[in-house]
Structure 1
Amino acid sequence: MIIKVKEYGAAGNGKSDDTLSIQKAIDDCETAGGGRVVLSDGNFISGTIILKSHVYLEITEGAVLTASKDIEDYKENTHYNRYRNEPELDRCFIYAQDACDIGICGNGMIYGSAESFPNKNSIYRPMMIRFLRCSDIHISDIKLYHAAAWTTAFLDCSLIWVRCVDIFNDKRYNGDGLDFDGCSHVYVSDCRIQGTDDNLCLQSSSKEYPVSDVHVTNCTFTSLCAGIRIGLKSIGKISDVVISNCTMYNVWREGIKIECSEGGYIGNISINNIQMRNVTRPIFILLNNRFEPEDLGSSIELTEMPEIGTLENISISNVSVVDEEEMKNIHYRFQNDIMGRPQFAGIRMDANEKHPINNVRMTHLFYRFIGGVKKHEIPNCYPEVVDKLEDKDKKGSENYYPDWSRAAFMDIRNVKNLVLDNIYLEKSEQDERPDVLLDGCLIIKKDIVISCEK
């Protein structure tokens, strides 16, 4: 069944509120057994839309679905943001719950009206898309621009296809692209993602919904923060992930970061054929434990400090990283939030001495680092990864601390069964730090060539 929303009274004039017309069309389409609800030839203004089973929202080329600029047009019963102390992100624009066979498609645009949020006397900024416990999801051939918070949040969902999606989210903090929490059988391909936070996230808020069978390929990433993040929210299990044939440009913090921080399991991760240009910290892998009840970054579902979990079986191959002159600069997010600088750069892996990362294989890697860091520019004391169950008050090494690296290219600590094969490292300028530090590692193979252009 095909339903055109203009036949339901939607004006599409960029001024009138079309929420009721769009929702009525979706409801009727579901009642009729499913089909497509089509927005064409106009700019449709709407508050929260609830997508239903067997219904696809199609926004045709030239059409725009624009998020209302008034926070009061967004429902409060659309689940919530699963990070502690960020209730301002609880509301959302397009929502689905316990639905199957749903999607958003077309060659048009969804515009999140980021510049209008937060409203005066309000803290709330709606996410663009949130799906909870849905299956058989298809997002394709669509522009998702300027969300007021995250662009997407797929929560406890399965069978997800995201293809040929263009995400541009650069106006506000929390400018994530694709976030998958507790999701399985995920297929992301041929997407372009630009934003102010993590372009793509794989996370686990519970043990009930493991993250598994995830494929990310043929995508390009640009971010004021990070490209791909696996973990941080890591209560449950994240495994069987393949990332391949992707490019990253101008990523001011980490290219690919893997953080097992909430007591769960992260393993069986394959990263292959990645091209990076101007990525401050190309690879960052961390095994620790953290619980910040009064701060950002901990799962709402986490109620106490967890034991250190398990991080193992990481394969990284055929990666090329090139720094241009741009990487001599300090890079900011919104003028005053430092994201990257040469002192912070390099490949870093870290863990507690008693809880090492296990089985990391890094092969066929080329890294041309800008170099030029002087010893006086970094502190002498570098913190260890602390088991917070043993010493909860001690400041330890974690994601955003320290904001410098001990080594120019590669600082790896407490990794058991480490393979470094066909690694070629090249500096554009001399750097006064050691090129490579491998502390507390059980090394299976080490084949590293280092050169300097000057």
Structure 2
Amino acid sequence: MMRSTLDPRNHGAVGDGTTKDTAALQAALDACADAGGGRVVVEHGTYLTGTLFLRSRVELHIAASARLLASADIEDYPENVHHNRYRNEPDLDRCLLFAEDVEHVTLSGPGEINGNGPAFPRVGPPPRAMMLRTLRASHVRVRDLQLLDAPGWTTAFLDSRWIWVENVRIHNDSNLNGDGLNFDGCEHVYVRGCHITGTDDNICLQSSSREYPTRDIHISDCELSSVCAGIRIGLKSIGTISDVTIQGITMTGVLREGVKIECTEGGVITRIAISDLIMHDVRRPLWFLLNNRFEPDDLGSSKELESMPEIGELSHIRVSGLTAVDSEEMAHEQWRFDHDIQGTAEFAGIRVDAAPTAPIRFLTLRDITYVPWGGVQVPSHPLEEYPEVVDALRESADGSSSNYFPTWSRTTFVDVRNVEALRLEAVLLQARQPDARPPYLIEDCTVLAEDVTVLDATESRTSVL
């Protein structure tokens, strides 16, 4: 079987940044596939393109001297590329790179793929294009690349397996929905050594169906920064998300949650091990929620979810080795694009919550050092007004504790409710500024260990650069 190395310029590509090179790039990919596989090398210039269909056993290599630039014309992105699976985000159905039912596909650098985000509206409609989507693909490698300025999500790996994303820089802050790496229904995933910044979830694990579980996920040695969440597991959680290891992560300037786990759509999230995290100015270092919801006319429900589910399972979660320290920046409000508030000092804190009838099970928080800014002198609400999580199949969820509600925390540091088999071991808490709220609350939990130390607030003992 012949394997080829092809230059798209031999197929008529120009690389001047203004001539559309879509046809020439696609011809090179197809010719390589027809030859039994090989490598398409893009170098020396800026190649303007619409949607490209990736092929089995073909590597698309962007040299250091080259840039793949997404067209600003949405008509250059056909609609036969599956769809975004969030009900409220149909404007993100199209994509720049699409890999369906293929195997052994590689995107490599060190060059740049640029989504031309500023050329698209900050939020749709009209439509915007994701950068990369795979569907039922296997043995996919994305390595040594710069993925910049996607108009929406940077990636969506769907129902795919054997995926490696290594040494990739993602910068996605031009528009809303600026996600980094999204894995839905994926198995055997390895994310290593990536630097990701954006306006939404940096790394997200989801499950849109019971047919394709998300499992055997390995995330390590990454740097994250986000207006929203650093690492999110759920909200799309119809099926199973399991066997996940996350280790050696640094997060800086995450305006909502550092690690966010939400089992909300009747599925199972279990066997999650998180270790060795360093967070600087992360508004809520940990946020775990088990409930049920179905909002077809609002945010966040899966297209595949057709009715309110029974509450699922969130269990066997271990966090060990977390250091989270705030600077004075966390004393102020933060906004996304000057109109969408993301958090205040009163919003901060580690929070774990579930409905009383469906508790989270087997949660361990070990070797935790948390130094928030604090400084809330007059809480906006009495502690007893903090709403409960409800079973929305059996009672109204209006005003209940849920995805982004309430927007205030009743404690300075840690609030844990409705957990069976809770272990708090070697937890050290100290606010930078005195705070009028209780330091922590453990409510309606079966506690196996409670080793928590709260130090008096003192600015002089903590140095933050």
TM range (shorter): over 0.9
Pair 1:135–1:121, CA change in 2 (3 A): closer
Deviation at 1:453, TM superposition (A): 3.5
Give per-residue Cα distances to partners, 1:347-397, cap 9 Å, x unaligned: 000000010000001100101111111234335411100100001453210
Matching residue's letter, 2:90:
P
Query: Runs ≥4 in structure 1, deviation > 2 angstroms?
Result: 118-122, 374-380, 392-395
- Specify the alignment match of 2:413 in structure 1: 409
- Specify the alignment match of 1:354 in structure 2: 357
Which of residues 67, 80, 92 is equivalent to 2:70? 67
Once the two structures are overlaid, the 10-residue window that deviates more, 110-119 or 343-352, is 110-119
Give per-residue Cα distances to partners, 1:326-358, cap 9 Å, x unaligned: 111111111011112110100000000010000
- Specify the alignment match of 1:279 in structure 2: 282
Mark the runs of 5 or more structure 2 residues left unpaired by the alignment: 459-465
For 1:291 and 1:379, how far apart are their aligned partners in 2?
29
- Specify the alignment match of 1:166 in structure 2: 169
Give per-residue Cα distances to partners, 1:259-313, cap 9 Å, x unaligned: 0000000000000000000000000000000000111200000000000000000
Contact 2:346 2:379 (8 Å CA) reproduced: no
Contact 1:74 1:93 (8 Å CA) reproduced: yes
Which of residues 145, 148, 151 is equivalent to 1:148? 151
- The sequence identity of aligned pairs, in percent, is 50
Pair 1:121–1:352, CA change in 2 (3 A): closer
Pair 1:54–1:440, CA change in 2 (3 A): same
Contact 1:46 1:66 (8 Å CA) reproduced: yes
Do structure 1's residue 11 and structure 2's residue 14 form an aligned pair?
A: yes
- Specify the alignment match of 1:388 in structure 2: 392
For 2:249 and 2:124, how far apart are their aligned partners in 1?
42
SS in 1 for 2:9: helix
- Specify the alignment match of 2:31 in structure 1: 28
SS in 2 for 1:6: helix
Deviation at 1:85, TM superposition (A): 2.6
Matching residue's letter, 1:310:
E
1:158-307 superposed matches below 5 A: 158-307=161-310
CA RMSD of aligned residues (A): 1.2
Contact 1:386 1:394 (8 Å CA) reproduced: no
Which of residues 80, 85, 90 is equivalent to 1:87? 90
Deviation at 1:416, TM superposition (A): 0.6
For 2:396 and 2:58, how far apart are their aligned partners in 1?
49
For 2:13 and 2:45, how far apart are their aligned partners in 1?
10
Contact 2:123 2:176 (8 Å CA) reproduced: no
- Specify the alignment match of 1:334 in structure 2: 337
Pair 1:393–1:376, CA change in 2 (3 A): closer
Do structure 1's residue 129 and structure 2's residue 125 form an aligned pair?
A: no
For 2:39 and 2:68, how far apart are their aligned partners in 1?
15
- Specify the alignment match of 1:51 in structure 2: 54
For 1:215 and 1:302, how far apart are their aligned partners in 2?
27
For 1:15 and 1:362, how far apart are their aligned partners in 2?
54
SS in 2 for 1:245: strand
Matching residue's letter, 1:335:
D
For 1:122 and 1:266, how far apart are their aligned partners in 2?
33
Matching residue's letter, 1:424:
L
Instruction: Give the TM-score normalised by the residue count of structure 2.
Output: 0.96
Which of residues 434, 443, 447 is equivalent to 2:447? 443
Instruction: Give the TM-score normalised by the residue count of structure 1.
Output: 0.98
